Structure 1
Amino acid sequence: MRLGIDVGGTNTDAVLIDGNRVLAATKAPTSPDVTTGIVTAIAGLKQAAEFDPAAVAAVMIGTTHFINALVEGDRLAPTAAIRFGLPATSALPPLVDWPDRLRTAIGEHSHLCHGGHEYDGSRIADFDEREFRAVLERAVEAGARSFALSSVFSPVNAEFEQRAAEIIAEELPGRPISLSHEIGRMGLLGRENATVINAALRELAEHVAAGLTRTVAEAGISAPLFLSQNDGTLMDVDYARRYPVATFASGPTNSMRGAAFLSRQADCAVMDVGGTTTDVGILQNGFPREASTDVSVAGVQTNFRMPDVLSVGIGGGSHVTHEGGPRVGPKSVGSRLTERALVFGGDQLTATDLAVAAGLADIGDRDRVAHLGKDLVRAGLDHIAERMAEVVDRMRISPDPVPVVAVGGGSILVPDRLAGASRVDRPEHYAVANAIGAAIAEVGGEVDRVFSVQPGRRDAVLDEARQEAVDRTVAAGARPGSVRVVDIEEVPLAYLPGNATRVRVKAVGELSLGDSLGELGDNDA
């Protein structure tokens, strides 16, 4: 059995899965400290289904701890951003595009050193150890406790980042170190920004990992703990301690993977409607389509793995106003739905009230919304449908209608017919698809670097990249026989010599726990 938990802005959902069967599911309000909500959800799951904690093979959690800390600019460690690139790159130093509040929050420690590489691995300048040690000394004196190291074209040659990390480990044993070639993709500023964010969250990651481990243990569960990543795959607790930035978009990806599992559809649009927002993404071969451009996180441009998701401020707790016509959202009562919504005795008209008044849901006290006019209810729900259809239309890349799978507790707001959708499915257990996505997640590995593809060598280069992705997936904990390549992309870089081609390969495999989850469907990749 597997225990899946997903922490959302409004609710914390938990499910217990045995193979491909959902044994029990529960919801609990998300608490300010997140951990309390997880404790409550696990307790609710025990009430819903008596199970032996010793029979749980693994616990998978999707958490908002880290993205919340960045958005709030809170609990971030003073971080030294050190780049190897001089005499190049000085025009745009580290942190140049950061919001002032976040620069201040991490201490504004920005440093440049000589070094870096060209795309073919040749050096821009030699590593100057004396220069680096002087920079390190200044950073420590200024209060830096965590270190983010980046170097020009380090995904091609990471020797400068690795040498600098060795020196920090010698001089400052135990200090957190983040290396850009392990975190971001091609593109210096986006990769560097992702690395600085990761470094700033390392101290918090230690506390969160310890807290989650303790929470699961106190529930009597001794199974290994995993956290969900941005691409819908898993990482263990130790990996999460080193790469907390990899959890940022775990909520939407969990919902999309859960939708694929429940609907048996590997290619579709997924509409996840929560209490505050509606998130729409596209599934390709059962996995979320990844963003092809840099993604802004809390006002910082990054280029690490993130799903291509579009959000709109409409959810079950969204405020409904009717001055000059009904408007829904973006304000929301959030986790206070059961206190503020009319059907629960509150004073705020919400989207949930409209759904209950229209007979789409049977929660709370329907008599409390009996006074709402039919025209108001219909117009409000039409407004919601129009906004949702607009988001789906913006996400599809073909003029052809796409199937839509609606999940999340607020998906009662999604109409059975939606413009731009060939059909709308709302599968069983749709309300906890996010927790199901966490529970059934697989292990992933990725290669993203520039190859010199000589004439007649293309197939050999692609085979090399595929094998490297498979090896990384197995090293991450996948069962060797289950690993498969789910995405491969090659982009010729015409402006560079030597037939330079950027190759990205993603592979996934089942977590090596000795159990089987069943298939996603006939079209499963």
Structure 2
Amino acid sequence: MLCSSGRGGLIRQTKVPTDPENLFESILSGLESVIRDTDTASVERIVLSTTLTTNAVVTGKLETVGMVVAGGPGLDPMLFRCCEDYHTVAGSVDHRGRVVEGLDRDAVEALADGFLARGIRTVGVVGKFSTRNPAHEQRMEEILKKKGIERVFTGHTVSGQLNFPRRIHTTFLNASVYAIHRRFYESVRDSLKEKGIDIPIYILKADGGTMEMATSMIYPGESVMSGPSASVMGAIPWASESVDTLVLDVGGTTTDIAILVKRAPVLEPLGISIGPWHTLIRSLKSTSVGLGGDSQVRVENGAVVIGPQRLGPAMAFGGPEPTPTDAMVVLDPDGTQGDLALAQEGMRLVGEALSLPPEEAARKVMETMGHTILDHARKAVAEINAKPVYTIHEMMEGYRVAPEEILLLGGPAQALSGYLADCTDKAVRPVPRWGVANAIGAALARTTCEVTLFADTEKGVILIPEENYSKTMDHHYTLADAEETARNFLVEKARQAGSRTASPETEIVESIAFNMVRGFRTTGKNIRVRAQVKPGLIEGYDLKAGDGS
């Protein structure tokens, strides 16, 4: 998919099947199709959204990695065990960053030897309160690399937030998806080189923003949930600014459900929870359910049941079992691709079990799909309303999400919209270019990032853990000074991540200062500031122009 800068909308779209075993050929095939007859010198940026890392996590096909955790006093770090090769070592710092116990270097060296003997070349290291003093993590990284470990992920750089269990899981996730993300990056890079294209490549992150793909090799876990985030960003231009919107991206295997609060995406306040892992990876809130166009359709106790299994493509495309796609082909043979005769055979099988003719069975399948999706959507809304609602811009205490419109994306969007409309009193409509709207959302997302700053005026030190930055300061340092420091670092980090905006739109999302008292007098302040570049769509593109409307 290509957009022309400033003037037009969609120029060309293409879809090719992905072969995980040969990503280079898959990506090259898509590139050749979408840039045919195009002067590649006119291409300004390439943005990719991927489900590869998400699928690897969901299916358990992760690289075998090692974890080394230094906990110290408090809960046993083994309670947060996240993989088979998970080990703890002595060494700790306190909440002020003071070394309480020295690192057991010999234990780390022995673990490195064991990792290498078992063929493990990627390791994550985490220390409690490492965001206040990363010395132990840095020393572990140094020892492991000297021993021959190729890649080490450190907890203080993957997230600056204070949450020891989640930082362990975040570090593990970054380490375990690194290999598959690297293969994806190399396939993209080599495909572009094959076509003689040398321009910035961006990847869509879980928070709906982008970063340069080379930078994403440092934070590969940020690509988890990239696919659902693309759907949310693709829906934003078409959502109402005055009401809440339910966004449904219906794919072949799953339907992704998300909420916009007057065009602002709802955010996971702490970070992604995926599978058994609870992380600090900033993400848009979405729910994925096993219900899509290629989900298996069966009849149980006289009722139609759809998914969550997917046994292959629809029968209309040579698959083994009836699917909702077959129902769509039967009901709209002129507007839906696929072999009508094969689709009718699928609906005949469903109809026999229901004592209905094929066309009536197809309607029953579509009605069931609409009701089932809306049932899941109601549960997703209830889950959001059970806690304070966070959007990408603010925390909305006491706000209750109440969607009044439904936007549909994905291949089945047009065919499904009428059946959904029959199941609800809310306004239902597919977004323009529903089949590639998520790609458009990815293409137009702007670069985002965040920084976390800690300052201890009693100790006279400033820390920005994600950037490995520390500096001394005097006791006159204020909360306003901290906000200014954080903003300056954020702008520079955004540029390094690929932002081409001279002045990225920044905001302070957390700003707290606590007095430290000793002997009934204030001895200093403990300051914490988090700043972010606001997620959103880049300016200069007219989606309502030409074919984009």
Please tell me the TM-score bracket, short chain as reference.
0.7 to 0.9
Q: Provide the rounded CA distance (Å) in 2 between the counterparts of 1:59 and 1:316.
A: 28
How far apart are 1:330 and its partner, in Å?
1.3
Equivalent residue of 1:406, what SS? Answer: strand
Residue 413 of structure 1 is matched in structure 2 by 416
Q: Provide the rounded CA distance (Å) in 1 between the counterparts of 2:425 and 2:533.
A: 30
How far apart are 1:26 and its partner, in Å?
1.1
The answer on whether the counterparts of 1:445 and 1:472 sit within 8 Å (CA) in structure 2 is yes
Q: Provide the rounded CA distance (Å) in 2 between the counterparts of 1:394 and 1:490.
A: 33
The 1:71–1:326 alpha-carbon spacing in structure 2 relative to 1, beyond 3 Å, is closer
Equivalences for residues 106-121 of structure 1 within 5 A: 108-118=85-95, 120-121=96-97
Per mean C-alpha deviation after superposition, the further-off stretch among 499-508 and 297-306 is 499-508
Residue 25 of structure 2 is matched in structure 1 by 36
The 1:325–1:488 alpha-carbon spacing in structure 2 relative to 1, beyond 3 Å, is same
Which residue of 174, 182, 193 corresponds with 2:157? 182
Residue 328 of structure 2 is matched in structure 1 by 355
User: What 5-or-longer segments of structure 1 have no aligned partner?
Assistant: 1-14
Per mean C-alpha deviation after superposition, the further-off stretch among 148-157 and 59-68 is 59-68
The 1:75–1:190 alpha-carbon spacing in structure 2 relative to 1, beyond 3 Å, is closer
The Cα offsets for residues 128-164 of structure 1, whole Å up to 9 and x where unpaired, read as: 5566445545554555422211111223332332343
Q: Which amino acid aligns with 1:122?
A: R
Residue 296 of structure 2 is matched in structure 1 by 319
How far apart are 1:178 and its partner, in Å?
0.6
The Cα offsets for residues 484-518 of structure 1, whole Å up to 9 and x where unpaired, read as: 13672568999x9998786543214899xxx9533
The 1:402–1:38 alpha-carbon spacing in structure 2 relative to 1, beyond 3 Å, is farther
The answer on whether the counterparts of 2:209 and 2:535 sit within 8 Å (CA) in structure 1 is no
Q: Provide the rounded CA distance (Å) in 2 between the counterparts of 1:75 and 1:93.
A: 21
The answer on whether the counterparts of 2:409 and 2:434 sit within 8 Å (CA) in structure 1 is yes
Residue 395 of structure 2 is matched in structure 1 by none
The answer on whether the counterparts of 2:108 and 2:144 sit within 8 Å (CA) in structure 1 is no
Per mean C-alpha deviation after superposition, the further-off stretch among 300-309 and 443-452 is 443-452
Larger Cα Rg: Structure 1 or Structure 2?
2
**Residue 278 of structure 2 corresponds to residue 301 of structure 1:** yes
Equivalent residue of 1:321, what SS? Answer: strand
Equivalences for residues 39-188 of structure 1 within 5 A: 39-46=28-35, 50-74=37-61, 76-77=63-64, 79-89=65-75, 91-93=76-78, 96-98=80-82, 103=84, 108-118=85-95, 120-127=96-103, 129=105, 132-133=108-109, 135-137=111-113, 139-140=115-116, 143-169=119-145, 171-172=146-147, 175-184=150-159, 185-188=161-164
Q: Which amino acid aligns with 1:353?
A: D
Q: Provide the rounded CA distance (Å) in 2 between the counterparts of 1:501 and 1:391.
A: 42
The 1:349–1:374 alpha-carbon spacing in structure 2 relative to 1, beyond 3 Å, is same
The answer on whether the counterparts of 1:260 and 1:520 sit within 8 Å (CA) in structure 2 is no
How far apart are 1:284 and its partner, in Å?
5.3
Per mean C-alpha deviation after superposition, the further-off stretch among 241-250 and 377-386 is 377-386
Residue 404 of structure 1 is matched in structure 2 by 406
Q: Provide the rounded CA distance (Å) in 1 between the counterparts of 2:154 and 2:272.
A: 19
How far apart are 1:31 and its partner, in Å?
1.9
**Residue 481 of structure 2 corresponds to residue 506 of structure 1:** no
Equivalent residue of 2:256, what SS? Answer: strand
Q: Which amino acid aligns with 1:389?
A: L
Q: Provide the rounded CA distance (Å) in 2 between the counterparts of 1:131 and 1:32.
A: 38
The answer on whether the counterparts of 2:254 and 2:290 sit within 8 Å (CA) in structure 1 is yes
The Cα offsets for residues 54-95 of structure 1, whole Å up to 9 and x where unpaired, read as: 322222222233334444444614x33122322444x2328x
The 1:451–1:391 alpha-carbon spacing in structure 2 relative to 1, beyond 3 Å, is farther
Which residue of 415, 434, 441 corresponds with 2:438? 434
Q: Which amino acid aligns with 2:365?
A: G
Residue 8 of structure 1 is matched in structure 2 by none
Equivalent residue of 2:502, what SS? Answer: helix
Residue 12 of structure 1 is matched in structure 2 by none
Per mean C-alpha deviation after superposition, the further-off stretch among 258-267 and 230-239 is 258-267
Residue 478 of structure 1 is matched in structure 2 by 499
Residue 232 of structure 2 is matched in structure 1 by 256
Per mean C-alpha deviation after superposition, the further-off stretch among 375-384 and 21-30 is 375-384
How far apart are 1:114 and its partner, in Å?
0.7
User: What 5-or-longer segments of structure 2 have no aligned partner?
Assistant: 349-356, 386-399, 458-474, 519-523, 545-549
Equivalent residue of 1:330, what SS? Answer: coil
Equivalent residue of 1:326, what SS? Answer: strand
How far apart are 1:46 and its partner, in Å?
4.0
The Cα offsets for residues 449-502 of structure 1, whole Å up to 9 and x where unpaired, read as: 667799x966665555444433422332213434113672568999x9998786
The Cα offsets for residues 317-350 of structure 1, whole Å up to 9 and x where unpaired, read as: 122223411122212245x33xx23xx4655321
Q: Provide the rounded CA distance (Å) in 2 between the counterparts of 1:438 and 1:59.
A: 10
Q: Which amino acid aligns with 1:24?
A: R
The 1:124–1:288 alpha-carbon spacing in structure 2 relative to 1, beyond 3 Å, is farther
The 1:345–1:183 alpha-carbon spacing in structure 2 relative to 1, beyond 3 Å, is closer
Q: Which amino acid aligns with 2:152?
A: I
Q: Provide the rounded CA distance (Å) in 2 between the counterparts of 1:271 and 1:429.
A: 14
How far apart are 1:447 and its partner, in Å?
2.6
Q: Provide the rounded CA distance (Å) in 2 between the counterparts of 1:166 and 1:159.
A: 10
The 1:287–1:249 alpha-carbon spacing in structure 2 relative to 1, beyond 3 Å, is farther
Q: Provide the rounded CA distance (Å) in 1 between the counterparts of 2:422 and 2:504.
A: 37
Residue 329 of structure 1 is matched in structure 2 by 307
Residue 517 of structure 1 is matched in structure 2 by 540
Q: Provide the rounded CA distance (Å) in 1 between the counterparts of 2:482 and 2:424.
A: 40
Equivalent residue of 1:93, what SS? Answer: helix
How far apart are 1:257 and its partner, in Å?
1.0
The 1:520–1:284 alpha-carbon spacing in structure 2 relative to 1, beyond 3 Å, is farther
The 1:25–1:378 alpha-carbon spacing in structure 2 relative to 1, beyond 3 Å, is same
How far apart are 1:194 and its partner, in Å?
1.8
Equivalent residue of 2:283, what SS? Answer: coil
RMSD, aligned CA: 3.8
Equivalent residue of 1:388, what SS? Answer: helix
Q: Provide the rounded CA distance (Å) in 1 between the counterparts of 2:435 and 2:211.
A: 25
Q: Provide the rounded CA distance (Å) in 2 between the counterparts of 1:492 and 1:380.
A: 57
Equivalent residue of 1:177, what SS? Answer: strand
Q: Provide the rounded CA distance (Å) in 2 between the counterparts of 1:165 and 1:156.
A: 17
Structure-2-length-normalised TM-score: 0.76
Per mean C-alpha deviation after superposition, the further-off stretch among 15-24 and 244-253 is 15-24
Q: Provide the rounded CA distance (Å) in 2 between the counterparts of 1:307 and 1:491.
A: 24
Residue 6 of structure 1 is matched in structure 2 by none
The 1:273–1:151 alpha-carbon spacing in structure 2 relative to 1, beyond 3 Å, is same
The answer on whether the counterparts of 1:76 and 1:200 sit within 8 Å (CA) in structure 2 is yes
Equivalent residue of 1:242, what SS? Answer: coil
